[in-house]
Amino acid sequence: MWTTSNPAIEMPALFERGADTISFAGGLPDLSGLPLTELAAQVSRQLRLGGRTTLQYTTPHLASSLVPAVAELMAMEDVTARPEHLVPTAGSQQGLLAVALGLGNPGEAILCQTPSYPGATTAFRTAGLVPVSAPSDVDGVDPDALREEVSRLRADGRTVRLLYVNPTFHNPTGATMPVPRRTALLEACRELDLLVVEDNPYGLLGFDGTTTPALASIDPDNVVYLGTFSKIFAPGLRCGWLATPPALTATLRSVGEIMTLSPSAFAQAILAAYHGKHGWDGLIADFRAGYARRAALMTSALADVLGPEWDWRQPAGGFYVWLRHRDGTDTASFEGAAAAAGVSFVAGRHFSVAGEHADGLRLAFSYTPADRIAEGIRRLGKALSPVEVA
Ligand code: PMP
């Protein structure tokens, strides 16, 4: 049953609290580089030439015109797309709920990399699953500690069959799981009979243009992969996909159909038409360059203002910088000072799976205008400084 005690996902954080507040809270993409005039022409063309088809209901299969476009994206992270095992979603958020409803049973545990994207843990809880922290370090989930945790859970009589991870440019830490860790983790999951749910919205947003092989490229038959156009095109189209192990495709396709009846043929047609004309490279390169620039502005400003009590790492891609207070202070205690200084962030407790990470703090550099970042970090530095006792 839905209860209002389910934590909000990110929506409250998306909107600035006051006109002058500089927000580092919402993980919104920057759409200023989207070629809107060109898109408007394509939308008009789509409507004129195919409107009665693309505005109609369609089947829960990825539009055939979009399959090559998705295959090209997945190939960038070494995944070979199997067209018959692609399932359209209305974005990864819906995909996460579909996975939880289709593959889990109420009361079962789902192991989650920790910290985790709150939209995922909330979706899992909504489906009746119980998120449990998968022991994680800076490189992601630790396979040996995972073995111990799974043994402990099963010895307690708990059923656990799923592991949720966001291995590349992770939300909220920005970290990427190295390849040897990926291989070791996948081996452990096979051994433990755990199916991996790989959430990958940011994988193509490495600042230097390099990519890391997706988990689905290493063990495609034991990974459900979630892809989305939200961060490499536009979230307003609400378009994404699952790449599923063959044994699970029919179930996930049915759950998707139950949830949305039909994917948006129109949104898929717009994406396919854009890809057919321009390919992905130019747009993705522009996104990468824009985010790299903002990340550099943010981290150089952070280096100037943060004291030694804050631990943080330079992001190599994605949307986020994660700070940790070395003394374990709950960062929610800085929210009032931040609001007073005119800046916002998301406190670590929102990313916790089981109460941990209150000492963390997420800053999104993706959406703040470049010329406001230094000023925002100056305000943040003021808000996070130890209070001087007179
Ligand atoms: N997973 C992660 C890790 C995310 O950061 C987000 C968006 N913030 C989503 C899934 C959902 O994305 P969408 O539904 O727009 O595809």
DSSP string of 308-373, one letter each residue: TTEEE---SBSSEEEEEETT---GGGGHHHHHHHTEE-EEGGGG-SSS--TTEEEEE-SSS-HHHH
Length of the chain: 390
Model pLDDT, residue 18: 67
Strands 360-364 and 320-325: antiparallel
Q: Cα–Cα distance between 45 and 378 in angstroms, integer?
A: 47
Q: Which two tokens stand for residue 223?
A: 């990974």
Q: Are 267 and 238 in contact (CB under 8 A)?
A: yes
What is the ipTM, given to two decimal places? 0.99
> What would the mean pLDDT of 292-320 be, rounded to a whole number?
97
Amino acid letter, 133: S
The average confidence (pLDDT) of the chain is 95
- Give the lowest-confidence range in 16-20, 126-130, 276-280: 16-20
Q: Cα–Cα distance between 216 and 214 in angstroms, integer?
A: 5
Taking CB atoms within 8 Å and a gap of at least 24, the contacts of 53-58 are 53/265, 54/265, 54/266, 54/268, 54/269, 55/265, 55/266, 56/265, 57/261, 57/262, 57/265, 58/262, 58/263, 58/265
The CA 28 to ligand 1 mean position distance, Å, reads 10
Q: Are 88 and 268 in contact (CB under 8 A)?
A: yes
Over residues 125-183, the pLDDT tens digits come to 999 999 999 999 999 999 999 999 999 999 999 999 999 999 999 999 999 999 999 99
One fold for 11-34+282-384 and 58-278: no
Q: Where are the domains of the chain?
A: 11-34+282-384, 58-278
Q: Cα–Cα distance between 296 and 154 in angstroms, integer?
A: 45
Amino acid letter, 226: L
Q: Cα–Cα distance between 79 and 81 in angstroms, integer?
A: 6
Give the CA distances from residue 124 to residues 13, 95, 101, 187, 237, in Å, rounded to whole numbers and listed in that order. 21, 11, 8, 24, 24
Q: What is the CATH number of domain 58-278?
A: 3.40.640.10
Strands 160-165 and 109-113: parallel
Q: Are 104 and 129 in contact (CB under 8 A)?
A: yes
Q: Cα–Cα distance between 164 and 199 in angstroms, integer?
A: 8
Taking the CA of residue 228 as reference, the ligand 1 atom at the shortest distance is 16
> What would the mean pLDDT of 281-302 be, rounded to a whole number?
98
Model pLDDT, residue 191: 98
The answer, yes or no, to whether any atom of ligand 1 lies below 6 A from the CB of 121, is no
Give, for 380, the enclosing helix (H) or strand (E).
helix 370-384
Sheet of 160-165: strands edge to edge? 86-89, 240-243, 223-228, 195-199, 160-165, 109-113, 130-134
Q: What percent of the chain has pLDDT over 70?
A: 94
The CA 228 to ligand 1 mean position distance, Å, reads 8
Among 365, 359, 387, which Cα is nearest to 377's? 365
For ligand 1, pick from 10, 99, 117 the residue to mutate: most ligand atoms within 8 Å of CB.
117
Strands 223-228 and 195-199: parallel
Q: Cα–Cα distance between 76 and 310 in angstroms, integer?
A: 35
The CA 201 to ligand 1 mean position distance, Å, reads 6
* Fold adopted by 11-34+282-384: Aspartate Aminotransferase, domain 1 (3.90.1150)
Nearest residue (CA) to ligand 1, atom 12:
92
Is pLDDT at 3 greater than 90 in this prediction?
A: no
Q: Cα–Cα distance between 139 and 179 in angstroms, integer?
A: 10
The answer, yes or no, to whether any atom of ligand 1 lies below 6 A from the CB of 167, is no
Over residues 279-291, the pLDDT tens digits come to 999 999 999 999 9
Q: Cα–Cα distance between 287 and 226 in angstroms, integer?
A: 20
